[in-house]
Amino acid sequence: MTAQAVDQTILDIAREQVLDRGEALRYDQLVQVLQTDDEQLADLLVLAHDVRLKYNGPDVEVEGIVSLKTGGCPEDCHFCSQSGQFTSPVRSVWLNIPELVRAAKQTRETGATEFCIVAAVRGPDERLMTQMREGVKAIHAEVDIQVAASLGMLTQEQVDDLRDMGVHRYNHNLEAARSYFPQVVTTHSYEERWDTCLMIKESGMELCCGGLVGMGETLEQRAELAAQLGELEPHEVPLNFLNPRPGTPFGDLPLMAANDALRTIAAFRLALPRTILRYAGGRELTLGDLGTRDGLNGGINAVIVGNYLTTLGRDPKEDLALLADLKMPIKALNQTL
């Protein structure tokens, strides 16, 4: 069988299995998708887009994020400029409650339905949990928006506390495939991450769990990450492309090629037909404007507007104009409740 025949076969299989029957691709099938060549890319993206439309509709979920505590994290995730273990130039900063409410209001004004509070920590201490309690209450009193959080690894008590204070979605990424994780993080384990994710799912909060690609992993490990996320079935999967930050151990890695990034988006959609698949960090650098458009027509159905945690994103107006241009409506708040 020629390489082209193999490629054609996996697209045909994916069309019948995922699009027609709604069954996610398995690991070995995802490897084949990631091995398709550039000539197959347009067809692959059309298929991933059809899957997204069939199982999620045309709406795009918009989210804003704000950092409650930036930098100085004790962990050593090799892609992250917020680790206090590297020489990356990010200072530790705490945000106060009025600033937090102001950021939530600005986010709501963009049409976003989701406002995620992020802190660069291994897990929250009592001071951070108190700030969260006050912050979530103040936001709910003044702004009509869903509050999400990303505060690292949690105890069962903290999971229950966050749910009770009204946090409706919690982000905790797997970051990398199980087999590649030890090359990415040494200060905690993949299993610790997985356990926090399971506690979130069981609590009734929505789980937001994704990872990064372009960190030197193999295609097989990229497929493995997608399959492991498929097993976890998060409500949302943020997909990050490595933006190599100076001073971090991955600071000298090359940017991922745009076509590889697009193939990855399509593969993740075929692994997670019903999940919110969100563009997260690194997409401007990796994909540029044209590629960003291709991704939104290739499986992505959610974006983060405004600034990312440590690197500038782009003006929210540009993203909102792009969605209008693509005739993709922004998901309304009452659709997310």
Report the nearest approach of ligand SF4 to the CB of residue 153 (Å): 8
Q: Considering beta carbons, is residue 281 or 291 the nearer one to ligand SF4?
A: 281
Report the nearest approach of ligand SF4 to the CB of residue 47 (Å): 32
Q: Considering beta carbons, is residue 103 or 185 the nearer one to ligand SF4?
A: 185
Report the nearest approach of ligand SF4 to the CB of residue 93 (Å): 13
Whole-angstrom distance, CA of residue 290 vs CA of residue 305: 17
φ and ψ at 38, to 5 degrees? -60, -30
Q: Considering beta carbons, is residue 75 or 294 the nearer one to ligand SF4?
A: 75
Sequence-separated (6 or more) residues with CB below 8 Å from residue 12: none
Classify the C-alpha dihedral 226-227-229-234 as positive or negative. Answer: positive
Report the nearest approach of ligand SF4 to the CB of residue 72 (Å): 9
Q: Considering beta carbons, is residue 212 or 267 the nearer one to ligand SF4?
A: 212
156-164 vs 190-203: helix crossing angle, rounded to 10: 40
Whole-angstrom distance, CA of residue 97 vs CA of residue 285: 32
Q: Considering beta carbons, is residue 31 or 162 the nearer one to ligand SF4?
A: 162
Binding site for ligand SF4 (CB under 6 A): 73, 75, 77, 80, 82-83, 120, 152
Residue 259 in tokens: 């076509």
Q: What DSSP line would sit under 148-178, residue for residue?
A: EEE-SS--HHHHHHHHHTT--EEE---BS-T
Report the nearest approach of ligand SF4 to the CB of residue 279 (Å): 18
